[in-house]
Chains A and B, each alone.
Chain A
Amino acid sequence: MDISKQLQKQLIDATHRRQKLNIIGNNSKAFYGCANSNSSEENIAPLHVTDHNGIIDYQPAELTITARTGTLLKDIISLLEEHQQMLPFEPPTFNDNATLGGCIATALAGPRRPWTGPVRDYVIGAHILTGDGMDIRLGSKVMKNVAGYDLFRPMSGALGTLGLILDVTVKLLPRPEHEVTLGMMTDTKNMQHLLHKWSRRSMPLSAASFFQGQAFIRLSGAVSSIEDAMNKLPPEMKQTATDYWHKLNEQQLSFFDSSSPIYRLVVPASAPYDTFTAECLVDWGGALRWIKTSLPFSEVQNHAAGLGGTASVYRNGRKNEDVFSPLPDGLFELHKRIKKVLDPAGILNPGRLYRNL
């Protein structure tokens, strides 16, 4: 269904009344971002977008799909599966109702991310409404396009603060012919060493994680190359259940079963592990570290900065506090000016990405 005209009217209306809006899909990722923006605050009205849904164009031979924001992620994923294709960034869904719009706006990517790239690498076009209801088409349906400034990629990860995504065009990849998951008991140091070694030998890796003394890897590709790669692994590495990645990505591992804050650290993969004594789950081959600790966020941030990365509060953060790493003043001012370009009245998801944005 196409309700873009209705959404446009709502935005124009809201701009006139300076009515702040909380863009809502199916709320599968409502926990993500700063908590104060969610409709708990009375002066923010919900703007429901799930009725704007449907696949507009899917061309397997072009490796692209264009779909409306409210289209269910699971429908897209299963359609692509029929054609042996996939969303390259392996997005988590968290529940059956997750929408494409939420997937792009949060830009959350799964275990495959270090090898295939982030969500923004695959966003090649976006049809948006600006905060004041202008109907804007950015990018296109082809992967190579340098006409006009690239404002389509920034829609990913902006948490709805830069525009209401009506539909997006996403570049796809062929599904690997075959995948194998392997695991072994080891320590983080050895795993880091092995991963570095493998990365230099063109191993067909597509995931690497470490949890509770166990290292897990996934190999993807042609049957022949996987067989070849398996011969080069240490003998202790044994095949194991492939659903580990699904559980990790969907946060169904026991680690995530918690009501205390869960921090997400994005650091250089080479950063040492042994400086932090918190419960830690490692994804993205070491570049993503989930941490549970009673330390305050500021200390976790300092720790991440010391490793050359940043930290955010992923779940169970405190209300009315920023959850993402703060930006230097000059950069934050530029963020504000860019937000103003796309949302002059500042009504789209105010405070969701940063409390003052």
Chain B
Amino acid sequence: MTIKSFIAQLASILPPERLLLSQEEITPYECDGLSILREHPLAVAIPETEEEILKLIEACREHSIAVVTRGAGTGLSGGARPVAGALLMSMMRFNRILEIDEENLTALVEPGVRNLAISEAVSEKGLYYAPDPSSQIACSIGGNVAENSGGVHCLKYGLTVQNIVAMKIITMDGQILSLGNNTLEPPGYDLMAILTGSEGMLAIITEIRVRLRVTPPVARVMLAAFDDIEQAGDAVSAIINAGILPAGLEMMDHYAIKAAEDFAHAGYPTDAQAILLCELDGLDVEVSTCIEKLKPLLYEQGATDVRTSNDDQERQRFWSGRKAAFPAVGRISPDYYVMDGTIPRAALGIVLKQIGEWSEEYGLAVANVFHAGDGNLHPLILYDANIKGELQKAEEFGMRILKLCIEHGGTITGEHGVGVEKLDAMCDQFNSDELALFHALKEAFDPHSLLNPGKAIPSLHRCAELGAMHVHNGQLPFPELDRF
């Protein structure tokens, strides 16, 4: 059983145009959205049917070769980054919408369908799919399920896990299993939850039934400007405390506002230290009532200016800056590093202040643009990879932010996943018993650890070693080596 015989077997399964072997063809698959982490796979397979997947994984089993499943490759933690010597399997040819069930408001789709394509396909019927990651034009629904992705609207409508009702999976031993069904309560354990956010480690997802919602008749956005970022943070808690559940509640700091305004011309107040974007949706009366309640509340919380969108065009404009924030920051800095910790809302003010202080300490600017209503921070640490040592500084800074999130009762990742990137931080969030349990769960699905091995859950060995390393400033010897 050699690599040669493995490749020959693959070639008997897939036509040459769907089996990429040359350096040139493979290079685009070396990383996902976190391009600092790269690895060369043995080959890239692009199956179109479940039968092909079954044959491919059989070949992998026979040759003990790992498989990394890939959606659109927009992940931000290295989840779809190849494992050295593994077969990379792209799911993007599984791109059909199989059924739209208008009666029960669900749609059956293949995993390679783009997130936005679902809403586009049902918009004529007045329906949409709620989770809307900023990458929704590009990312696949399979990737969304594997990462449990969120978006601007998950404060009210939930994450991916709350918006899918069934899925079909292929396990590494070649079984096809159906999880969930088209009802409100499938029997047995909640395997849907286990699979959602499992980062391609447990099974290959081949079909997903998503929940559709009725497009609310009215949606309006309020834009509130603040002179002080802590005040803006506290206003977030005040809104929730007033019994209002906005459809989305986002925050941007001065740096992000300026970058976004230059890029998207959304009409943001560029002198503000922070803005809140608060979307309300539902029936006309309901939305108006909330806005009337929120206006005085926002001023009471220290807002210097509150504007409300009057039509859909204006609403889109208010959002345009937020939606373009990442690329906008990309324009003003050669490189940036996105963090993704979540904290209880009440800690927003204090955590943002601390990040600001560290930013000065490291001499690296930070732009904050994030899902404030969920307490999900996305500090963008700006750096220049061409300046020696800046990337390491940015990573160290990032790690401190994640630890700070844990200290405040939060988590190291709200929606981007652990992948390869946050393996070390996992050692801080979970103890060895918990990690051992996660490894045991993986084994229950994939006993030979052939599916995306080494991702998402650090080995106990790695954590132990890291614990010992803390003495040396958290600097690992040979940081370029993976320590699984």
Contact = CB atoms under 8 A, between A and B. Distances in A.
Interface of A: 59-64, 84, 113-114, 117-118, 120-121, 130, 134-138, 140-151, 153-154, 156-158, 162, 173-175, 177, 196, 199-202, 204, 221-222, 224-225, 227-229, 266-270, 284, 287-288, 308-310, 312, 324-325, 327-328, 330-332, 334-335, 337-338, 340-342, 353
B374 A330 contact: no
A340 B445 CA distance: 12
A117 B158 contact: yes
Contacts of B282: 202, 204, 225
Given A145-B414, A147-B426, A151-B437, A310 B214 contact: no
Interface of B: 103-105, 126, 147-148, 150, 154, 158-159, 161-162, 171, 175, 177-179, 181-191, 193-194, 196-198, 202, 214, 216-217, 237-238, 240-241, 243-245, 282-286, 288-290, 342-346, 371, 374-376, 409-418, 422, 426, 429-430, 433-434, 437-438, 440-445, 456-457
A156 B282 CA distance: 30
6 contacts: A146-B413, A147-B412, A196-B103, A224-B286, A268-B182, A331-B179
A341 B438 CA distance: 9
Given A287-B184, A308-B182, A331-B177, 5 more contacts: A143-B342, A146-B415, A153-B190, A204-B282, A341-B443
Contacts of B346: 59, 61-62
A150 B185 contact: no
A310 B238 CA distance: 43
A43 to B, nearest CB: 25
- The 4 residue pairs across chains A and B that have the minimum distance between CB atoms: A270-B103, A153-B193, A144-B414, A174-B243
A61 B345 contact: yes
B216 A202 contact: yes
B371 to A, nearest CB: 7
Contacts of A269: 103-104
B167 to A, nearest CB: 12
A147 B312 CA distance: 36
B418 A331 contact: no
Given A120-B193, A287-B184, A327-B187, A148 B438 contact: yes
A123 to B, nearest CB: 9
A338 B185 contact: no
Contacts of A140: 342, 409-411
B241 A145 contact: no
Contacts of A136: 433-434, 437
A13 B282 CA distance: 55
Contacts of B442: 149
A341 B184 contact: no
Contacts of A114: 184
Contacts of B158: 117, 121
A175 B410 CA distance: 25
Given A62-B345, A141-B344, A338 B189 contact: yes
B191 A224 contact: no
Contacts of A148: 418, 426, 429-430, 434, 438, 456-457
